[in-house]
Chains A and B, each alone.
Chain A
Amino acid sequence: MAPIETAPKLYGMMAEFETAEQLIEAASRTRSAGYKKFDCYTPFPVHGLTEAMGVEEAKVPWTVFVCGLIGAMALFGLQVYISVIDYPLNVGGRDFLSWPYFIPITFEGMVLFAAFGAFIGMLAYNGLPAPYHPVFNVPQFARASTDRFFLCIESKDPNFQHDRVYEFLQSLNPVRISEVEA
């Protein structure tokens, strides 16, 4: 077979699988084959996939924790500032700093901020919104949200070599292999 010249504007090469198990298998082999820049696409969270890919991170939880902390402090602070410092009023003979009364709102503030932390954090780390992405150029990729499982080795990868990658993917027995336009 004649070697094919790599298209200059190539995002990567994508293999399509039918089952999650195959994909997990493929992912771990891709990893052991020394590829760094590759990603998998699944219609639902496939458990064990990220482990196979060797991805580990806990950015989101930390963000949530910090946001929650900020939220709690912010609202408790607000209440104390208002009812003790800015306009202390004798309300039903209660002490100005009647902190037990401030707990509920403090708690709600914590939850609110944390929730936003989780939501926005998730999107931000995922680089969303990204309505455009090269992988969408592959027609079959439309099934990635329905019933097909994809593995894409990106051209950014240091040892990305067109036909090598092709052969490697072949060895994973995908349903189909397609180039992904950048």
Chain B
Amino acid sequence: MEKPTNGQSTGEKFWRSLNELAESPEFEEQLAREFPRHAQPLSDFVSRRQFLKLMGASMALAGLSACGYKPQGPIISQAKTPPEHLPGESLYFATALAVSGFGMGVLAKSYEGRPIKLEGNPNHPASLGATNAITQAMLLDLYDPDRSQNVLKFGRIEPWTTFAAELLQKIAIQNAKQGAGVRILTGAITSPTLADQIQQFLKANPKAQWYQYEAVSWENLYEGTRLAFGEWLYPIYRLDQAQVLVALDSDLLYTGAGAVRYAHDFMQGRKVRKEQMRMNRLFVAEPMFTVTGMTADERLPIQSSKIARLAYEIARLLDAPVQAEPSGELTPEEQKWVQVVAGELKAHAGESLIVVGEAQPPAVHAIAHAINQVLGNIGKTVVFIAPPEAKPTLHTQDIRQLAQELQNNAVEMLIMLGVNPAYDAPADLNFTELIPKVPFSVHLGAYVDETAALCVWHVPETHPLEAWGDVRAFDGTVTIQQPLIYPLYANTRTALELMALINGQSGKQTYELVRAYWQKASGLTPAQFDSFWRKSVHDGVVPRTARPVKPVALKQSPLVVQLPEPLGAVQATNTLEIRFAPDPTIYDGRFANNAWLQELPKPVTRTCWDNLAFMSLNTFKALGLWGKATYAWHEDVSFVRDQVPLIEIQLNGKSLIVAAYPIPGHVDKALTLHLGYGRIRAGAKGSGAGFNAYTLRTTTDLWFARDAEVIPTRQSYAVARTEEHHLIDTRQKDPELDSTAHRPILLTGTLEEFRQDPELKNKSHREGYTHELPSMYPERHRYDRYENPDNYRYAWGMVIDPTLCTGCSACVTACQAENNIPVVGKEEVVRRREMLWLRIDRYFKGSPENPKVYQAPVPCMQCENAGCELVCPVAATVHDHEGLNVMVYNRCVGTRYCSNNCPYKVRRFNFYRYSYMKSPVLHLMQNPDVTVRGRGVMEKCTYCVQRISKARITAKRENRRIRDGEVVPACQQACPTGAIVFGDLNDPNSKVRQWREQPHNFAILGELNYRPRTTYLAKIDNPHPELSGAEVSHAGSH
């Protein structure tokens, strides 16, 4: 595909030809050729192609240059029309996508038979119609050209049949000895059908073992409940009930199976309006900023190892029934914090909640349970259910045991379903040596990854959007997964199919298996079952499958718990506490090859394509890293070339070279390392990116370890960051001018200030937001000029409430998926050429030690007096009658003047042919309703104009106005917390209008009189009077 396509013609072609295409040798070969080198990132764009070819290519791009008369393409009719098929129309199908076993319900948008977008499923408890970045990006996994496509034996392509034959033969042998030599390793499994298949096998082979391993495990939750209540339980938080939430080293608003739901619930208590001047309060104690931490009203930077002490102190102050040997000391600030938190919790007993993160040892969880118990929160703000997994287990224990057995050569047959222990198992078990010891090892996975390389057999895994299946949400609710598309590659299989084969049901389709299971499970008559099935599949949730709430009680009082040893005062400056955490975008590494997630700026650090050793600025300087190496001729330039120093970390005998990066709000004497990077067999995009933190991670120090020794090196490393943090790299000498916090960008205030003065008039810069300058021209184009009763005209506008924004970035990826936004690769991001239309601004305010964070999504503001339009010499960007600042890609000649004159810098330019995609598969993914921009063209957000047009045409056909809420931009649709509202400003009853009329509504850089259609509500937070004093005074503003 040389020329950009709107997918319509090609769309139909692909729709038709998929089946043939998938099998056709050319296609196989074509993709095989691309595997595994072909890189999406643009770094090698120039070097890879020869010169003349490019010449031709770029000329061919004139295709987008408004000359319509190219040779006409083919138009391919269907032989037979499927009943539901409507040419050029999209259909939505409910299904679910699972991350480490837990399902997120989605509505998949299918265009001409290919899924092109995933939206949240309103019926689904984990989604409520919203999604997160990962779910949005899982669409890309389906079309990833690096996906494994062939059955491999020792890396050589073999037909599926050969594999099946050999497997069955081996199974037969094992059956004889009751499967004594068989070990099955999977991730956490909630799928009832799959679990049932495995259980069947285990029943038949009692000596066989089934282990589950998740690198990012929540086993501590279970152990915690066992300590407290005597059994493994899974907590469900009711954050909408909580007035006070205390999160100890827990990122519950962002990571974890329920995060999207929790973020939604939590924000119900923060919708500050003139009608409702109240909000809940969030306390967070954590070593490094997390999304939850950035949302906090009061945050305490503290080493993970000290959390236990902290929790215990709180418990003591609330005289919760806990008994332990406290060790280590709390600093005065920490003491103060503890007192305040305890007081708050007490004050809101029954409507407060204390949550502890998965990384904390069971004891700390137990303490938290005790506290919640004492406060009477249990049953109100938190309830407990039986674990959603089919077979709950302790992952570390499982993997250790498996390692043990492998060590003793007890394993003759190892079946690994969608796991990658060779990469993510604890380093001390060194699986890379163990796996090859197994005579017959099978790996089922979407990629030929580190583990596959060590196995005898590798079987490509089918993507969940290609097959039937089922999965449970965090609260146990089951979703029947239905396929959106015929498997792209003929040889792929699902875990279900593989188990069915092993169980001798080889003929069965996944559809039959799932349906059969539920037929059995539901115990309904075939007639009843049919409607049950239809309804379940259609709604995306199986009724009455949520796990029931279990009543709980402390098994003993007081609880006697063993507190872990906290990190004492470190003597040597270069000995730090190290904390492992899942990566904010690529999680535990399974998404390492997902270009969207790789390029998505990490919520806190705004870096991408990398993980780095994050530490506080003090530590950074203490290690003598500041002004090192490439910090060139000016301190301020330290980040100009985006170069940071490399350090070597040594931890119990293992060592890792990693780039160090200072980040505000990180606790001193500690560093945080994200898992998931440094893959060697992730695929073209993931391989070689970042540093492999697993090499330091051992079963003993799974989450945090003390005494990590840091040795600075001479080398430096280029970091791709989409935003500098100014508290660090602009000099402090003149805060009034330098510190961004003092720029009139975001209007901020505390709940108290808002109560006294809803317009926050006496806030600094407030006038800057409101007052408008007189114009020389008759302003015929202002939206309020359109207002008259018989006015048909829409005035589209958007209001964003930063108070509700956690910075989870779901909107960013949703925008990328909806608008065919290309990925540019690390080198281009380093050169500040990322293409994301929607960015999330993150501003620090206050001292670098513990600043406040203010965030806001920044799309195109659709200014009414847009400067960009004024300076475009070819009228490629102009206003339409509905107030959209439309960007006509095919008219753009690429002077980039508009971008210069945009004070918000929300325009993006195709410096190269970013939209070029070598693999035909990727073209299946593109949204046919959005022009694919060619090289040399400016692009930007237009409020998802394609959705507006669609709605307008429908409305016109039905002779009515577009209803409020009928048009929902991708960002709004994805947002878990409803921080974005879009609609018609001319409609007095529209939600957007109501938000816009809030007293604390303001326009960013309003004084420029560009009169943006996108406005914001002031970011309100709710600091505790006794604490915030300290921090805010640092900031010096207001």
Interface residues of A (CB under 8 A from B): 89-95, 98
Contacts and interface: CB of A to CB of B under 8 A. Distances in A.
B865 A93 contact: yes
B881 interface: yes
A93 B879 contact: yes
A35 B869 CA distance: 68
Contacts of A90: 781, 878-881
B779 A92 contact: no
Interface string B626-652: 000000000000000000000000000
A98 B868 CA distance: 17
A89 B878 CA distance: 7
Contacts of A93: 777, 779, 781-782, 864-866, 879, 1011
B173 interface: no
A27 B664 CA distance: 93
Interface of B: 777-782, 863-870, 872, 875, 878-881, 1011
Given A93-B781, A93-B879, A98-B777, 13 more contacts: A90-B880, A91-B869, A91-B870, A91-B875, A91-B878, A92-B863, A92-B869, A92-B879, A93-B864, A93-B1011, A94-B870, A95-B777, A95-B780
Contacts of B872: 91
Contacts of B777: 93-95, 98
A108 to B, nearest CB: 15
B870 A92 contact: yes
A90 B863 CA distance: 12
* A-side interface mostly: loop
A89 B777 CA distance: 15
The 3 closest A-B pairs by CB, nearest first: A90-B879, A92-B869, A92-B870
A95 B782 CA distance: 11
Nearest to A83: B875
A174 to B, nearest CB: 63
A167 B867 CA distance: 80
Contacts of B867: 92
Contacts of A89: 875, 878-879
B997 to A, nearest CB: 22
A91 B879 contact: yes
Contacts of A98: 777
A95 B785 CA distance: 14
Contacts of A92: 863, 865-870, 879
Contacts of B782: 93
Contacts of B864: 93
Nearest to B878: A89
Contacts of B868: 92
7 contacts: A89-B875, A89-B879, A91-B875, A93-B866, A94-B870, A95-B780, A98-B777
A94 B1010 CA distance: 11
Find the residue from A89, A90, A92, A98 having the highest chain B CB count within 10 A.
Answer: A92
A39 B869 CA distance: 61
A58 B881 CA distance: 54
A88 to B, nearest CB: 10
Nearest to B781: A93
Nearest to B779: A93
A93 B1011 CA distance: 10
Contacts of B866: 92-93
A94 B871 CA distance: 12
A95 B781 CA distance: 8
Contacts of B869: 91-92
A92 B870 CA distance: 5
Contacts of A95: 777-778, 780
A92 B1008 CA distance: 13
B916 to A, nearest CB: 31
A73 B286 CA distance: 71
Interface centre among A90, A93, A95 (most CB of B within 10 A): A93
A89 B872 CA distance: 12
Contacts of B875: 89, 91
A94 B870 CA distance: 8
A79 to B, nearest CB: 13
A50 to B, nearest CB: 48
A82 to B, nearest CB: 10
Interface hub of B777, B779, B867, B881 (most chain A Cβ within 10 A): B777
A90 B779 CA distance: 11
Nearest to A82: B875
Nearest to B1011: A93
A57 B872 CA distance: 47
A95 B880 CA distance: 14
Nearest to A91: B869
Contacts of A94: 777, 865, 870
A91 B867 CA distance: 9
Contacts of B1011: 93
A89 B880 CA distance: 8
Interface centre among B863, B870, B880 (most CB of A within 10 A): B870
A90 B783 CA distance: 13
A95 B779 CA distance: 7
A71 B203 CA distance: 95
B819 to A, nearest CB: 23
A137 B84 CA distance: 94
A113 B662 CA distance: 63
A98 B865 CA distance: 13
Nearest to B901: A92
A155 to B, nearest CB: 61
Nearest to A94: B777
A90 to B, nearest CB: 4
A40 B661 CA distance: 86
A95 B778 CA distance: 7
A94 B865 CA distance: 7
Contacts of A91: 869-870, 872, 875, 878-879
A125 B865 CA distance: 52
A11 B864 CA distance: 75
Contacts of B881: 90
Nearest to B777: A95
B483 to A, nearest CB: 46
A98 B776 CA distance: 10
B957 to A, nearest CB: 26
A98 B869 CA distance: 14
Nearest to A101: B870
Contacts of B878: 89-91
A42 B429 CA distance: 105
Contacts of B778: 95
B903 to A, nearest CB: 13
A53 B867 CA distance: 62
Contacts of B865: 92-94
A44 B864 CA distance: 62
Nearest to B782: A93
Nearest to A89: B878
B789 to A, nearest CB: 23
A98 to B, nearest CB: 6
A86 to B, nearest CB: 12
Contacts of B879: 89-93
B985 to A, nearest CB: 15
Nearest to B866: A92
B890 to A, nearest CB: 16
A91 B779 CA distance: 12
Nearest to B880: A90
